[in-house]
Amino acid sequence: MGETGVASFEALEAKINKAAELIDRLRREKNTIEEANKELKGKMESLYIKNEELAKELKRLQKTHKGKTDSDTSREEIKKKIEEMLAKLDQLDV
């Protein structure tokens, strides 16, 4: 093998080493991205669960509020009827 063959072989070796380094770096980056992706999926699932819990709590609170509103309406109706009866009693001078 001549001098040109050795130089070509060294150039090929350098290219192969660079390619191997690139592949190694890309694998490390891929692993880092996969770990970050796994972490984000876990956070998303946690947020979905929290969202469902909050939606249930909101429905419960809305029902409670509606019940309170209904109760307030009933109280207002009773108060109004009592006031009407008192007004009628006042008219009778009893």
Q: What distance in Å separates the CA atoms of residue 13 and residue 38, rounded to the nearest whole number?
A: 37
Give the global pTM: 0.52
The residue with tokens 């509606």 is 66
Cβ neighbourhood burial of 32 (10 Å; 0-12, 13-18, 19+): exposed
pLDDT in tens, 33-83: 999 999 999 999 999 999 999 999 999 988 888 777 777 778 888 888 888
* pLDDT of the residue at 92: 79
